[in-house]
A and B are shown apart, each in its own frame.
Chain A
Amino acid sequence: GENVGLHLPTLSVQEGDNSIINCAYSNSASDYFIWYKQESGKGPQFIIDIRSNMDKRQGQRVTVLLNKTVKHLSLQIAATQPGDSAVYFCAENLGASGYGGSQGNLIFGKGTKLSVKP
């Protein structure tokens, strides 16, 4: 889940399997969601995004699903590879309801560590 303090939840999968990483977001007014991948010692890297008027969006080997009813976001990675091992976290945009106006209103989750076993 999102509130685990110092210890990130970990998902361990076998190479070639599909991975599903979940995220619960906090604000029903959020209108834009992003998934990031962060490898050790590096900055977050954009994977895929989705707007609130959609419930599914597909990229290369990745699919994001959005369930606004329960405020849930998931990232599906097909045919997981060792290079997919990283921390994945979601971000929601609070839009006009956030601080400081419309800019910089992303709220980041704490992340899930994906470990891929060869």
Chain B
Amino acid sequence: NAGVTQTPKFRILKIGQSMTLQCTQDMNHNYMYWYRQDPGMGLKLIYYSVGAGITDKGEVPNGYNVSRSTTEDFPLRLELAAPSQTSVYFCASSHGQGAITYNSPLHFGNGTRLTVT
């Protein structure tokens, strides 16, 4: 299994541009998440999904959108990029009831480093 795959690895955007960060997993996990990680800070949850067709806001959803048309894919969309969205973005998935199920921790991709100038 490849696990969680994120593309692209790096991207530079100008203010106001849009882009989609791709995330796919081949573990047949129902639960998927998007986090952002700022330097020296803990991961912050942007959006999550408990299954195909269902998405919910996390702690910092403003400026982002997601969709979950299949179990495998969970793309994150930035419509109008702003400098505050400069960050490293991590997609994750889990098998059981998300993080609250013992022995069902999150599996992370290797991240997308985004710079908005």
Please list the residues of chain A having a beta carbon within 8 angstroms of any beta carbon in chain B.
4-8, 31-32, 34, 41-46, 49, 51, 89, 91, 93, 95, 99-111
Known pairs A43-B109, A44-B108, A104-B58; A110 contacts B98 (CB<8 A):
no
Chain A residues contacting B98 (CB-CB under 8 Å) are 102-105
Q: Which 4 A-B pairs have the closest CB atoms?
A: A43-B108, A108-B42, A104-B48, A6-B40
Interface status of B41 (Cβ within 8 A of chain A): yes
CA distance in complex: A7, B39 (Å): 8
CA distance in complex: A102, B99 (Å): 9
Interface status of B12 (Cβ within 8 A of chain A): no
Q: Which of B13-47 contact A (CB under 8 A)?
A: 31, 33, 39-45
CA distance in complex: A45, B92 (Å): 11
Cβ contact of A111, chosen from B42, B56, B90, B92, cutoff 8 A: B42
30 contacts across the A-B interface (CB closer than 8 A): A6-B40, A31-B100, A42-B110, A43-B90, A43-B108, A43-B109, A43-B110, A44-B43, A46-B105, A51-B102, A91-B43, A93-B99, A93-B100, A99-B58, A101-B56, A102-B97, A102-B100, A103-B50, A103-B56, A103-B99, A103-B100, A104-B33, A104-B45, A104-B58, A104-B99, A105-B99, A105-B100, A108-B43, A110-B42, A111-B42
Q: How large is the interface on B (under 10, 10 to 19, 20 to 34, 35 or more residues)?
A: 20 to 34
Q: Are A110 and B41 in contact (CB under 8 A)?
A: yes
> Nearest chain B CB to A114's CB is how many angstroms away?
15
> Nearest chain A CB to B57's CB is how many angstroms away?
7
CA distance in complex: A32, B100 (Å): 7
Q: Are B99 and A91 in contact (CB under 8 A)?
A: yes
CA distance in complex: A30, B11 (Å): 36
Residue in B98, B102, B105 whose Cβ sees the most chain A Cβ within 10 Å: B105
CA distance in complex: A91, B50 (Å): 20
Q: Are B42 and A104 in contact (CB under 8 A)?
A: no
| Chain A minimum-CB-distance residue to B113 | A41
Residue in A43, A91, A105, A109 whose Cβ sees the most chain B Cβ within 10 Å: A43
Chain A residues contacting B105 (CB-CB under 8 Å) are 34, 46, 49
